[in-house]
Every structure is written in C-alpha cells, then in structure tokens.
Structure 1
C-alpha cells in the first residue's frame, strides 16, 4: 500500500474522488473486485476501500483506492 500524490490526486479530485491509496498486486490474483478490505499498517481494524481505477503493468496491476471518511469494514 502506498500513498497517492501528484497528478493522480489532482485527476481524482477533478472527478469528485478522494484518492486514498494505491495497492500493487499480481494481475493473476485480481478478479475485478471493486471493494478491498485492508487490515495492515498501523490500524488494528480493517479499512474498506473502493477501487476507482486500475492500471495493468506487465504482471502486476495497480489498484487505485478511495475511502469515505470513517468508512470501515
């Protein structure tokens, strides 16, 4: 999981989306899901993200994620 910054953040905001994070996974592990529950990092509770955009990069796929304030699993 990485932060969103620069052009991605600006482009998302222009479309009314609050970009929250980016996840990179193997493309073969992605089945088109639109919801991602993440329980890593500093939080002990899972956070629910919506996939608003994907980008295929060779064998990996980048998932661009947004969440609503206070939205958790």
Structure 2
C-alpha cells in the first residue's frame, strides 16, 4: 500500500510539470520581443555611431546592456 501511494504521488508530481508549459511559452514570446527591440535599437544606433556624442554612445550601449540583462532574467 505504501509503495502504491508513493508511486501515485511521484507520478502526480512528475505530471504537474506540464502546468509550467504555458509560462515557458510566454517567456519565449517575451524573449522574442526583447530580441526585436534589441535589434531595432542596434540598427538605429549603427548608421550614426561615428557622429554620436560620447554620452549618446554610452546611453545607447547601456540600453543594449539593459535589454540583454532583462532577457537573462
């Protein structure tokens, strides 16, 4: 009887991992959105990089770093 309850509990816990699947799909979507914003920002900066002031370059780089760190969360 004890083995049966233990096996049932293990099976229940193992099966419950599928409850997280929608969250993972949402996180993948959020990562795609962050990637789009990252590429958009990079393409916005790249053509003008030589004409930007130092402070503007630092701000642009910090924006890219911020998006990267948000993606790692």
Specify the TM-score bucket, using the shorter chain as the normaliser: under 0.3
More helix by share: 2
TM-score, L = length of structure 1: 0.21
Structure number, greater radius of gyration: 2
More strand by share: 1
